[in-house]
Amino acid sequence: MPILSTLHIANAFGILGNIVSFLVYLAPLPTFYRIWKKKSTEGFQAIPYSVALFSAMLYLYYAFLKQNSIILITINTIGCVTEIAYLTVYMIYATKVSRVSTTRLLFLFNVSLLGVVIGATYLLARGHQRVTAVGWICAAFSVSVFAAPLAIIRRVIRTKSVEFMPFYLSFFLTICAVVWFLYGFLIKDYFIAGPNILGFIFGIMQMTLYVVYKDRKQQILPAAVVETKCGDHIIKDVDHQSQLQENSSETQPNNKRDLEIVVLDYGEQVVHGVVVLQPNHLP
């Protein structure tokens, strides 16, 4: 009866890693279906997909340098194609400001920085030293891929809403981290195994936040509003008195009005006063 070698087990985990990683790349599909259906990127950010594309391109470079790494070449090729497709959809429906910032991000990472990495490693390193140098760079950016969804954690905690933090992406990233850790550990490639320890931790953190806030929703606009055109924006005057009269049988005269500011694109400022909405995002 044949005994499975460590290499056979590692290859099995590598194939499983390819399958799970493919599911990771498919996890944002509901998000981009929503973007396509609503013709708006709403509060979603392109940062995770930009960083993921850069990481996939780096690991392709690492795999070609290392040789005999068909498992890494296969999944990272798929990753590049998938992330480019997602970013294309995002750019089509994003606001002008978001398109400009995403274009700058892509130029910074996928053109300038990638060119610097390839040029520097070819000029300053040879043979195994080049593989080691690129491996360290890949490990650093793998951590960035796992940490990229944490960019919205601040927003989740502040708004107490997980509307813009996809659960399935966090779930599949966690499973993927476990599988790739085992693959890297078995083939003694710690540039693959190491970052996935942090990937597992980050994934657990994101899923914990989802469980805590999944049933909570933030009410942005009260019932009664009065619209006023102001330049390129619409200012809505919120009349809480009308809402109170509907919900209470005993009402008292009240001439006061409260105003709230909500910046829907970025959610960066919520000030008691005025509601400012971009025309394209009106309910």
pLDDT digits (tens, 9 = 90+) for 152-177: 677 778 887 777 676 776 787 788 88
Tell how far CA 279 is from the center of its chain: 26
Range with the largest mean pLDDT of 85-89, 94-98, 236-240:
85-89
Q: Residues 262, 277: contact at Cβ < 8 Å?
A: yes
**Placement of tokens 């891929």 in the chain:** 145
Strand order across the beta sheet in which 233-238 lies: 225-230, 233-238, 275-277
Res 145: pLDDT: 66
Q: Residues 196, 180: contact at Cβ < 8 Å?
A: yes
Residue 173's contacts (CB-CB under 8 Å, 6 or more residues apart) are 24, 27, 146, 149, 199, 202, 203, 206
pLDDT digits (tens, 9 = 90+) for 34-66: 888 888 887 788 887 888 888 889 999 999 998
Closest CA to 35 of 101, 121, 77, 98: 98
Confidence of residue 281 (pLDDT cuts 50, 70, 90): very low
Q: Flag whether pLDDT at 149 surpasses 70.
A: no
Residue 64 is classified by DSSP as H
Strand 233-238 relative to strand 275-277, pairing: antiparallel
pLDDT digits (tens, 9 = 90+) for 19-32: 988 988 887 888 88
Residue 113's contacts (CB-CB under 8 Å, 6 or more residues apart) are 54
Residue 123, both tokens:
């000029």
Torsion angle in degrees (nearest 10) through CA of 77, 72, 131, 67: -100
* CA 250/CA 256 separation, integer angstroms: 17
Q: Flag whether pLDDT at 191 surpasses 60.
A: yes
Q: What is the DSSP string of 69-81?
A: -HHHHHHHHHHHH
Report the b/e string of 169-180 with b at 16+ CB within 10 A. Answer: bbbbbbbbbbbb
- Whether the full predicted model's pTM is greater than 0.95, yes or no, is no
Residue 200's contacts (CB-CB under 8 Å, 6 or more residues apart) are 174, 177, 178, 181
Q: Flag whether pLDDT at 243 surpasses 80.
A: no
**Percent of the chain topping pLDDT 90:** 24
Q: What is the mean pLDDT of the chain?
A: 75
Confidence of residue 209 (pLDDT cuts 50, 70, 90): confident
Least confident of 75-89, 91-105, 224-238: 224-238
Give the mean pLDDT of 267-281.
43
Domain assignments of the chain as residue spans, ordered by start: 1-219
Q: Flag whether pLDDT at 7 surpasses 70.
A: yes
Res 3: pLDDT: 65
pLDDT digits (tens, 9 = 90+) for 88-141: 999 999 888 888 988 998 998 888 989 999 999 989 888 889 999 999 998 887
